[in-house]
Amino acid sequence: MKTHLKFWMLLAPALVCLCADPIEAAEAQPSRFGLSLGYGAPTYTNYTYAGSSAGINGRGHAAQARVEWMPLRLPVGTFSIGLGVGFAVSPRTVTLAKSAPTAEELRKDSGIESVDRSNVLVSIPVETYLTYRAELLENQLVVPFARIGPSITFVRQASNSGAPERAGKFFGLEYAAGIQVLLNGIDSGAAKSLRINAGLQQTYLTVEYARKAELGVKNPDNFDLRGDVIRAGLRFQF
């Protein structure tokens, strides 16, 4: 009798775990990591092309990916550290107007008398940062956040042939603020399934405004990439 009693006492906790709702167990797990994917429209208001007085007007196109580790969760919000990398292209700008055509261009079209040379700025920013998220409630619908961190941007001034080219880097400091809107409620069934099968706790729509300033160290290549960017994208928390 005592042997049977001991057997059931040992088996009971295992049966409770097996019978527990896996969805509830998955929901109880706090998020520790974040992945953000976004599109941005940056400006280059302080940049002037080498060999020309032409600047860059309008906004370019940029993609960015960021990963975060969220080690600190407090009643006043969450703090995380992260690493990001991006790829950006500026609007094409005419830098040499009505320049003489090359021999190759004359071979293709002997009737041309002049050609406008243009440049684009291609950049790859790499950044580290600290983020504060005002996440005060469980499953909070709208989460304001702020982020700041240093960056190094690898830059190339590319030409469509003939215009000056150069490459270098820019050391900057980016600070941003925005909101994240929780999307789990749109399809709670799918959200729970992803939580169980992929460990995805929350999905957010993010919108932010960021500015890039000089870091305060010498930029040896004389690139000036100060400006702002409007970004939108998705954030996944695991």
- Render pLDDT for 62-97 as a digit per residue (tens, 0 to 9): 999 999 999 999 999 999 999 999 999 998 776 666
Determine the pLDDT at residue 103. 63
Give whole-number Cα distances, 139 to 16, 66, 81, 211, in Å. 27, 22, 21, 29
Look up residue 64 and give its two tokens.
Answer: 């960015």
Q: Is the dihedral of CA 64, 65, 69, 70 positive or negative?
A: positive
- Domain residue ranges of the chain, discontinuous segments joined by +: 31-237
Task: Please give the pLDDT value at position 81.
Answer: 98
Res. 123: pLDDT tops 70? yes
DSSP state string for 177-225: EEEEEE-GGGGHHHHHHHHHHT---EEEEEEEEEEEEE-SS--TT----
pLDDT digits (tens, 9 = 90+) for 16-69: 344 444 444 445 477 899 999 999 999 988 888 766 778 888 899 999 999 999
Measured between alpha carbons, how far is 14 from 191 in angstroms, rounded to an integer?
A: 27
Placement of tokens 């460990």 in the chain: 199
Residue 210 reports pLDDT greater than 90: yes
Q: d(Cα 166, Cα 224) in Å, to the nearest integer?
A: 13
> CA 94, 56, 121, 218: dihedral to nearest 10 degrees?
130
Q: How is residue 139 annotated by DSSP?
A: T
- Poorest-confidence range of 9-13, 50-54, 231-235? 9-13
CATH architecture designation of domain 31-237 = Beta Barrel (2.40)
Count of residues in the chain: 238
According to DSSP, the β-strands at 115-133 and 77-89 are antiparallel
What mean pLDDT value characterizes the chain? 83
**Between these two residues, 71 and 8, which has the higher pLDDT value?**
71
pLDDT in tens, 160-192: 655 557 899 999 999 999 999 999 988 788 788
Distance of CA 9 to the CA centre of its chain: 52
